[in-house]
Structure 1
């Protein structure tokens, strides 16, 4: 599996390390961004969050789209 962003930069020597959880494209260690997300669980009338955050991998494009205001 090749990194999509590297292919756009005409680089074919990089292997993908994961798949973006937002768009589904392969991403390498240079283009991947690992984000922490808190998983919520319904609890009575509200929500509760676990003590540990989960990991989520996103590509550079999706990371910019999510963090740019």
Structure 2
């Protein structure tokens, strides 16, 4: 599978899939962050201690940041 955001003339292998839109991305077009995982627990929320790896394409990262 090749990166969705790379030009068609350059077939760059994808290393991840965006968790938001499902696009395959290479290292150059992937954005990695960490988010806390929260579960509904009764009438509140329980936050897990270890952050989750969150990989998005650059377009989805820009949308999340705006």
Name which of 14, 32, 35 aligns with 2:33.
35
State the TM-score, normalizing by the size of structure 2. 0.87
Structure with greater strand share of residues: 2
Q: List structure 1 runs of 4+ shifted beyond 6 angstroms.
A: none
Match of 2:63 among 40, 65, 69: 65
SS where residue 28 of structure 2 aligns?
Answer: coil
Q: Which residue is 2:2 aligned to?
A: 2
Question: When the two structures are aligned, how many residues end up with a matched partner?
Answer: 66
Deviation at 1:11, TM superposition (A): 4.2
Structure 2 equivalent of residue 47 of structure 1: 45
How far apart in 1 are the matches of 2:9 and 2:22?
20
SS at match of 2:14: coil
Which protein is richer in helix relative to its size? Answer: 1
What RMSD over aligned residues (CA atoms) do the two structures have, in Å? 1.3
Please list every run of 5 or more consecutive structure 2 residues that lacks an aligned counterpart in the other structure: none
